[in-house]
């Protein structure tokens, strides 16, 4: 899964936490599986907004650090340069090449987790990670996460076109 930094305004301050248990629901919405212990959850519920920020491989220390310490103990607004967008209450991280600001539309309640589903209201992108006008993941260098070995992985190379490579089989069936 892609490792993200989720942002919310908690007690008036930007707070960020590291979340890789994310998902895509319908094409315009994302989901976050967030343990109820997180300080960030308080802000998401209060404001009904959050951000999803995609850090690059060179941010791995800060990204991991952000998940090691709770916002209850550390003022994480000092870790990153924050900016705000149209929603005004979803703090985003300047250093991350991609940021999405989201409006909370549904919360699915699990015993230990809040599943926050948010509609993406705006996406911000560093021009340096574009190729021919679209996001180039080779330039983004996302931090991929695997729970089974508790490790971060890099993205490899693009190797096939979707809705295309399978056409070869169409002819033979």
- Pick the binder of its own copies from 4, 40, 63, 89 (CB under 8 A): 63
Q: From the CB of 49, what's the least distance to its own copies, in Å?
A: 19
The answer for 111, left when phi > 0, alpha when psi is -120 to 50, beta otherwise, is: alpha
Q: Does 120 bind its own copies (CB under 8 A)?
A: no
Q: Does 70 bind its own copies (CB under 8 A)?
A: no
SS3 173: coil
Label the pairing between strands 113-125 and 130-131. unpaired
Residue with tokens 């919310």: 8
Using the rule CB under 8 A, give the single segment among 44-52, 80-88, 89-97, 165-173 that binds its own copies.
165-173
Which of 138, 136, 134 minimizes the C-alpha distance to 157?
A: 138
Contacts of 129 (CB under 8 A, 6+ apart): 97, 98, 135, 136, 139, 140
Q: CB–CB of 55/5 below 8 Å? A: yes
* H or E element in which residue 63 lies: helix 60-68
Reading phi first (left if > 0) and then psi (alpha if -120 to 50, else beta), residue 125 is in beta
* Candidate list 42, 45, 48, 57; residue touching its own copies; CB under 8 A: 57
Q: Does 21 bind its own copies (CB under 8 A)?
A: yes
Say whether residue 122 binds its own copies (CB under 8 A).
no
> How many residues touch its own copies (CB under 8 A)?
65
Asked whether position 165 contacts its own copies by CB under 8 A, the answer is yes
Is residue 144 close enough to count as binding its own copies by CB under 8 A? Answer: yes
Stretch that binds its own copies, among 4-12, 43-51, 81-89, 130-138 (CB under 8 A): 130-138
**Interaction of residue 149 with its own copies, rule CB under 8 A:** yes
**Shortest distance, position 162 Cβ to its own copies, whole Å:** 5
Binding residues vs its own copies (CB under 8 A): 1-2, 20-27, 29, 31, 33, 57, 60-69, 74, 106, 108, 110-113, 115, 117, 134-137, 144-170, 173
């Amino acid at each position: 899964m892609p490792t993200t930094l989720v942002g919310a305004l908690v007690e008036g301050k930007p707070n960020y936490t590291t979340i890789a248990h994310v998902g895509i629901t319908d094409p315009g919405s994302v989901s976050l599986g967030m343990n109820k212990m997180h300080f960030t959850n308080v802000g998401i519920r209060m404001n009904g907004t959050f951000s999803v920020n995609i850090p690059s491989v060179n941010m791995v220390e800060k990204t991991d650090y952000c998940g090691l310490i709770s916002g209850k103990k550390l003022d994480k607004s000092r870790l990153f340069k924050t900016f705000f967008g149209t929603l005004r209450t979803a703090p985003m991280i300047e250093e991350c090449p991609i940021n999405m600001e989201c409006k909370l539309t549904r919360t699915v309640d699990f015993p230990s987790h809040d599943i926050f589903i948010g509609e993406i209201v705006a996406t911000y992108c560093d021009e340096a990670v574009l190729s021919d006008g679209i996001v180039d993941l080779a330039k983004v260098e996302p931090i991929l996460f695997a729970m089974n070995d508790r490790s971060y992985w890099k993205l490899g190379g693009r190797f096939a076109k979707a809705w295309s490579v399978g056409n070869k089989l169409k002819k033979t069936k």
